[in-house]
Structure 1
Amino acid sequence: MSTHAESPLSFREIFDLPVSVDLRTAARAFGMCQGTAYRLIAQGDFPCPTVRVGRRHRVLTVDLLRALGIEERPVFADEVADGVALTLFD
């Protein structure tokens, strides 16, 4: 387990996350190292709920986004240009 913080996730990376993510990815989203994330979970202070799957922790992306203060997925200009955003609102 690495104790140094990796670079935080970019907005684009956050919005491309699957339905759930591992603890390492969730920690990156908050700008913390995995060791800090485990410590916060043990203290009951991790910023969002985690789900224990065997010996690992998973975080639902919807809970992660909510904890980051993101309630809606923004539309990026290149998605509009590609026609992706138009199908979301039809």
Structure 2
Amino acid sequence: MRTDMTSIALPGMGRTELLALPAAIDLDTANRAIGLGRSKGYELARRDAYPCRVLRLGKKYRVITADLLRLLGVEAPGAEGLAADAA
């Protein structure tokens, strides 16, 4: 029996899951957080048009998690104090 993969949607990421991400993540994880499909995400990364900073490391792409969180409007707990300290 074959399952139609187009009808299966991956869930997005909640705030807790986003805040638990490491400093840099793979493109598939970033695509899931943003709600992009795999093909579109890789196309945007290849064209340097991804909505946040992407590093190309050999044949792999890595997304800077801080940029992704900023894009999504997610602020880490205690980040307000860090911003004030930097000023």
Residue type of the alignment partner of 1:52: R
- Which residue identity lines up with residue 63 of structure 1 in the other structure? D
Runs of 4+ displaced beyond 4 Å: 2-5
Structure 1 gap ranges (5+): 76-90
- Between the two proteins, the alignment pairs up a number of residues equal to 73
TM-score, normalization by structure 1: 0.69
Structure 1 residues 62-77: aligned runs within 5 Å: 62-70=66-74, 72-74=75-77
Structure 1 residues 43 and 29: CA distance shift in structure 2, 3 A: same
Unaligned runs of 5+ residues in structure 2 are 79-87
Choose the corresponding residue for 1:6, options 10, 18, 23. 10
Moved more, 28-37 or 39-48: 39-48
Q: What is the CA–CA distance in structure 1 between the aligned matches of 2:28 and 2:11, rounded to whole Å?
A: 11
Give, in angstroms, the shift of residue 5 of structure 1: 5.4
